[in-house]
């Protein structure tokens, strides 16, 4: 089995899970190069679709994701990383998880824990 980058035009979705709590932290995309960088560095590296460049998660914030385990799904087109999240939060908004909006009575309500102030971490 090999990773199948063809279906998604060279990109595969990557689920990132906290290795100790099993909380889902975020989802992002990898191309072949991001995958190879992730294996080499043992830190999560993605392809930024908005900036159209390789993106070492934490390169600006210092909040790297140290990769502990990696899993491939049954049809080879989705990855799951289990990571140690440096700094305790994965989301650029300062929340621990990007999935911090919960569906309640027909609307999305903010839930979850804010760990850092984005202004302090990103300086903007």
- Based on the shown chain and the rule CB under 8 A, indicate whether residue 51 belongs to the binding site for a second copy: no
Residue 29 C-beta: closest distance to a second copy, Å: 10
Determine the Cα–Cα distance for residues 70 and 72; give it in Å rounded to an integer: 7
Residue 28 C-beta: closest distance to a second copy, Å: 9
User: Closer CB to a second copy, residue 32 or residue 101?
Assistant: 101
Residues facing residue 24 across a β-bridge: 17
Q: Six-digit token pair at 59? A: 């390169």
Residue span 64-103 as binding mask against a second copy, x where in contact by CB under 8 A, dash where not: -----xxxxxxx--x-x----------xxx-x-xxxxxxx
Sole binder of a second copy in the list 1, 51, 53, 62 (CB under 8 A)? 1
Q: Residue 57: exposed, middle, or buried by beta-carbon count in 10 A (0-12, 13-18, 19+)? A: buried
Kind and range of the H or E run holding 62: none
């Amino acid at each position: 089995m090999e990773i199948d980058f063809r279906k998604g035009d060279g990109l595969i979705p990557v689920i990132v899970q906290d290795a100790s709590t099993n909380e889902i932290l975020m989802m992002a995309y990898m191309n072949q190069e991001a995958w190879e960088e992730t294996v080499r560095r043992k830190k999560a590296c993605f392809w930024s679709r908005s900036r159209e460049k390789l993106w070492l998660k934490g390169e600006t914030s210092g909040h790297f994701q140290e990769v502990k385990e990696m899993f491939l799904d049954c049809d080879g087109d989705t990855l799951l990383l289990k990571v140690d999240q440096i700094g305790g939060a994965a989301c650029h908004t300062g929340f621990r998880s990007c999935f911090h909006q919960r569906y309640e009575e027909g609307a999305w309500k903010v839930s979850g824990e804010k760990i850092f102030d984005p202004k302090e971490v990103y300086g903007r």
